[in-house]
Structure 1
C-alpha cells in the first residue's frame, strides 16, 4: 500500500507542474483571442507566484496539523478546480483570480508530499520514496508541452485546462479512499498522540535557518533554468521555435531520473551501513561537484552539448533536492517536516521573485555568462555551508511527548 500511496503522490506532483505550465503554452492563443499584453501576462504570473510563496509555508503548517491525507486532498482539489476554471475564463480579472487560487493549491503540494513520505516510510526507504514523490514534477514538465498542444489542436485551448483539472478531481476521489496509516516509525507507534510544533518556535533552531537559507540561495538557479532556457536557446543559440520544444524536455527528463536515483543511492548507502548524515551528504556533495561543470554551457559550440550541460545541471539538482527534503524530514520528523519544507519553499519563491528582474537586466545589459557561472558555483557554496552549520543530521524532536508538559521533547 505504501508504494501505491507514493505513486499517487508522484501523479499529484506531476499534475502540479503540468497544470502550471499549460498557460505558458496556451497564452499564445489566449493573447490573440483576448488581446492581453505582455505586461498583463506578467501580472498573471505574479498572481500565481504570490499565492504560491504564501501557501508553501501556510500549507505546510496546516498539513502538519490536519495530516497529509486531508491536507493534500484539499490542495489538489483547490488547484484542480482553479485550473479547470481557466478553461471558462472570459476576462483578465478572472484569469488573475483563477491563477491566484492555482498557486494557493500548488503551494501546499510539496510540503504535503514530504509529510506523506514521512508518514509511510522509515529512514531506510525514505529517500527513494521522496525521489519518486517529487520526481512526478519533472515528468509533468516533460509531457506538458506536447500534451497541451495535442489537446488544443483537437479540442481547443480551453480543454487544455479543463481536462487536467478533471483528472486532478478524480485523483482526489482515489486519494480519499485510501485507508491511512500513521508513521511506520517505532517511536511514533509508541506515542500516537498528534502534536505539532508552533511555527515561531522553529526559528530558534539553527537547522531551520540553514535549510531556509539554502533554498533562498539556490532556487533562483532552478527558476533561471525553467524561465530562461527557451530564450537562451532562441537568442544566443539561434534555435528555431519548433526545435526548442524538441530540446526543452531533455533537461527535465534528467531531473525526473535523478530525483529517483538520488533517493535510491541514499537509501542503499544507509542499508550498507552509512549513517543518515553520511548518506544524505554524500549524495548532496556529489550533486554539488557535478554542478561545477555547468559554466561550460556558455563555451561549447554545439547546441546539443549546451543542452547536455543544462541536463547535467538538472540531473545534479535532482540528486540534491531529493536528499535535501529527506534531510529536513530526518531532522524535524513528523511534527514539523511540512512546515520547514514550506518555509524553505517560500524563501526560494521570494528570492526568485526578487532576483528575476535582476537576471533580466544582466542578460539584457551583458550576457548569460554570469548566470552560468553562478549556476556552477552556488551549489558547492551551499554544500560547504551545510556541512559546517549542520555537522550532523539528526532529529531535533523525540517522537514522543514530554510526559509533564505534553510538549514535543527536544533532543539534546
Structure 2
C-alpha cells in the first residue's frame, strides 16, 4: 500500500508581519494628527496666526518630501528591519519634543525633524508588501495596514480632544511619543524578512514566490541619479505620482485643518468636535478596507491588474470631489450633521484611493523598491507642503474655508483624471 504524505500547510507568519506594520502605521499617522487636535489651543498659547499655523502644518512635509529619496536609498541599503526601527524611535522622540516647544521657530524645527524621521515609513511598508504577500493578497494587506492611518484616529479622537481640554495640548505629544519609542524596540525584536524568519516554512515561501512576491531581498544597488530619471520617465509611475498627490490633498486637509474647521467655521465646542471628528475617520477606515477587498476580488476573478487596481482608486477620488458640497450647507444642528455626512463620504473615497500604494508596489523594479517608493512618496507629499499653506492663506484672508474646500475638490478631480488617462500598464518594471 502506497502511503501518501499529507501536504504541508503554509505558515502564516506574513500576517504577524502585517500586524507589526499596521500598528507602526497607526502610530505614524497618529503622530501627524496630534498637531491638528492641538492646533486651536496651541495657536492661542503661542500666539500663532492662521497663516503661521499653515506654515507649521506644512513644515513637516518639507523635510518629509525632501527626505524621501535618501530614505529610500537608506532602506535599499540597510533593509526594512533596521530602517523601520530607527525611524520609529527618532520620529517618536521628535513627537515628545513637540510638547516642549515655546516658540514658532522651535516648533517648525521639530516638525522638520519629524518629517525626516518618518520619511522611510511608507517605502518600507511597500517593501514589506512585496516581500511577504502574493499578488492576490496584496491589496487586502495594503488596506489592513492602511486602515491604521484612520482607525486609531477615529476611535481616539474623543479621547485626544478630552486630553487636550483637561491636561493641555502638550500631554498629547508626550504620551503618544513615549509609546512610539517603546514600539521601535519591539519592531526590531520581532520583524524579519521572509528568507531570514526562523518560523516561516517552505510552503509559505513558495506561496509568496509563485504569485509575484519577492521573498529574497535584492542585492543593494548603489544610488544613481539616472535611476531617478528613468523612473520618472515611466508613464505609470508618473501618472500614479500625480494621482497620489491629488488624493493626499484630501488626507492632509483632514489631518491638519479639519478640527479647526469644525471649531471655527462650524462653531462646535471641544467635546462635540471630538465626537464629530471621529465619524469621517471611521468612514475612511471602511473605505480603505472596501477598496482593498474590491481590488483583490477583481484580481481573483480574472480582471486585468490595471483595471483591478485603478477602478477603486478612481471611484474613490470621484467621491472625494463631493467635499465641495459642504460649502453650501448652513450652520446649526441640521447643517452640522449634513456637513459630517458629506465629509464622511469624501473621506471614505479618499480611503479607497489609498490603494495607490498597492499599485506602485506592483510596478516597482525589484532592485529599486525603496527608491521607487521614496520617489512616489516625494511627489505624494508635495501635497503636504502645498495644501496647509493654501488653506491657511485663504482662511487668513477671507475668514472662511470656502476656497480651501474648493481647492480640495479640484485636486480630487485632477487625481481621477491622472489615474484614468496617464497610468497605463500595471506590471513589474525591469531596470538593468
Q: TM-score, normalised by structure 1?
A: 0.83
Matched, 1:4 2:29: no
What does residue 52 of structure 1 align with? 64
- 1:32–1:241: structure 2 CA closer, same or farther, 3 Å change rule? closer
Please give the alpha-carbon distance, in whole angstroms, between the structure 1 residues aligned to 2:39 and 2:23.
25
**Which of 215, 219, 225 is equivalent to 1:194?**
219
What does residue 113 of structure 1 align with? 125
Asked if structure 1 preserves the Cα contact closer than 8 Å seen for 2:298 and 2:308, the reply is: yes
**Which of 313, 321, 327 is equivalent to 1:298?**
327
Q: Could you give the per-residue CA deviations for residues 276-314 of structure 1, whole angstroms, max 9, x where no partner exists?
A: 112112212322343354333233452211211111011
What does residue 343 of structure 2 align with? 310
What does residue 300 of structure 2 align with? 271
Q: Could you give the per-residue CA deviations for residues 75-131 of structure 1, whole angstroms, max 9, x where no partner exists?
A: 111111222334455666654443322221222222221221221111100001111
Query: Which residues of 2 match residues 11-410 of structure 1 at below 5 A?
Result: 11-26=23-38, 35-38=46-49, 44-88=56-100, 94-149=106-161, 151=163, 158-178=170-190, 179-182=192-195, 184-186=208-210, 193-196=218-221, 198=224, 199-200=227-228, 201-301=230-330, 302-322=335-355, 324-363=356-395, 364-365=397-398, 368-397=401-430, 408-409=431-432
Asked if structure 1 preserves the Cα contact closer than 8 Å seen for 2:263 and 2:269, the reply is: yes
Residue 396 of structure 1, CA deviation: 1.0
What does residue 199 of structure 2 align with? none
Q: Which structure exhibits the higher relative contact order, with contacts defined as CA atoms closer than 8 Å and separated by 6 or more residues?
A: 2
Residue 40 of structure 1, CA deviation: 6.3
Asked if structure 1 preserves the Cα contact closer than 8 Å seen for 2:33 and 2:255, the reply is: no
Asked if structure 2 preserves the Cα contact closer than 8 Å seen for 1:118 and 1:333, the reply is: no
Asked if structure 2 preserves the Cα contact closer than 8 Å seen for 1:145 and 1:245, the reply is: yes
Structure 2, unmatched stretches of 5+, are: 1-12, 196-204
Residue 181 of structure 1, CA deviation: 1.0
Please give the alpha-carbon distance, in whole angstroms, between the structure 2 residues aligned to 1:130 and 1:294.
25
Structure 1, unmatched stretches of 5+, are: 398-407
Asked if structure 2 preserves the Cα contact closer than 8 Å seen for 1:291 and 1:377, the reply is: no
More divergent stretch after superposition (293-302 vs 358-367): 358-367
Q: TM-score, normalised by structure 2?
A: 0.80
Q: Could you give the per-residue CA deviations for residues 217-276 of structure 1, whole angstroms, max 9, x where no partner exists?
A: 443333234433334434544434442222112111111221122112111211122221
Please give the alpha-carbon distance, in whole angstroms, between the structure 1 residues aligned to 2:240 and 2:218.
27
More divergent stretch after superposition (99-108 vs 41-50): 41-50
Residue 386 of structure 1, CA deviation: 2.6
Please give the alpha-carbon distance, in whole angstroms, between the structure 1 residues aligned to 2:425 and 2:111.
41
More divergent stretch after superposition (83-92 vs 307-316): 83-92
Q: CA-atom RMSD, angstroms? A: 3.2
Asked if structure 1 preserves the Cα contact closer than 8 Å seen for 2:236 and 2:425, the reply is: no
- 1:204–1:99: structure 2 CA closer, same or farther, 3 Å change rule? same
Residue 163 of structure 1, CA deviation: 2.7
